[in-house]
Amino acid sequence: MRSKIVAGNWKMNKNMTETEALLAELSAKLPDSDAEVMVAPTFVNLAVSVRNLEHSTIEVIAQNMHFAESGAYTGEISADMLLDIGVDTAIIGHSERRAYFGETDEILAKKVTTALGKNIRVIFCFGEELEDRKSDQHFSVVESQLKNALFSLEASAWNHIVLAYEPVWAIGTGETASPEQAQEMHAFIRKTITEAYDAATANKVSILYGGSVKPGNAEEIFSKPDVDGGLIGGASLVADDFVAIIKSI
Ligand code: PGA
């Protein structure tokens, strides 16, 4: 059975006081669910979040990490620094990292290799832009993103990888892929992994959908057979919305 996962990506939102308040509200309202629930606060609030959630099943994850072990990389955070504060999952390849910080497939491949070498679970994000979909290139774009960053890995590495398909045109725009579009792409992703590896590997990978998931559309998206959960941006900043999304899985 694949894990069901609902992960909240808080991006550059919430100061420390707000972080602690949101975590307290989430913990108090957390519904019983067989899904893994994760939150990704900003780096400066990771350690305090881990402490606040010591007795909670909510997992604290990182929004990013650097590929180097340590050294002269001003402003960056290493895998060991995350592990040291009790964070062992990182989002890698978010479209905002790709678009605003120049993270290429090549850089992302290095980040994934470093993370897995340190036993950090990776939530790997990818997805096409609007022009790609309009010109019917969305499948080939997604395939090359996966191939370039992940397909040199050994099959066993996939035990520590979660995929998050996030069409760029649906992130923060209020526009969502229809449940059918999400299912179509998720099935394509599984087929691509089957061809590169085998069906057993493809069937055990959790594939999350991300892009304007809200309480009103989560249930239908999550009901699709190849959608194993969601990576939630805006709606994860409001406890009641995030809780409603968790309930709908
Ligand atoms: P959104 O963000 O839910 O605000 O569209 C999703 C994401 O960027 O992971």
Residue 108, pLDDT score: 98
Structure confidence at residue 173 (pLDDT): 86
Q: Can you name the residues that pair with 59 across neighbouring β-strands?
A: 38
Atom of ligand 1 minimally distant from the CA of 164: 9
pLDDT in tens, 147-198: 999 999 999 999 999 999 999 999 888 888 999 999 999 999 999 999 999 9
- Residue 20's pLDDT is what? 98
Q: Which conformational region is residue 127 in: left (phi greater than 0), alpha (psi within -120 to 50 degrees), or beta?
A: left
The question of whether 76 is a catalytic residue gets the answer: no
pLDDT, residue 223, reads 97
pLDDT of residue 172: 84
Res 225: pLDDT: 97
Angle (CA) 176-178-179 rounded to 5° is 120
Q: Identify the segments of the chain with pLDDT beneath 50.
A: none
Pocket perturbation via mutation, ligand 1, pick of 14, 38, 212 by most ligand atoms within 8 A of CB: 212
pTM for this entry? 0.97
Q: Would you give the DSSP letter of residue 4?
A: P
122 exposed, middle or buried (CB, 10 Å; 0-12, 13-18, 19+)? buried
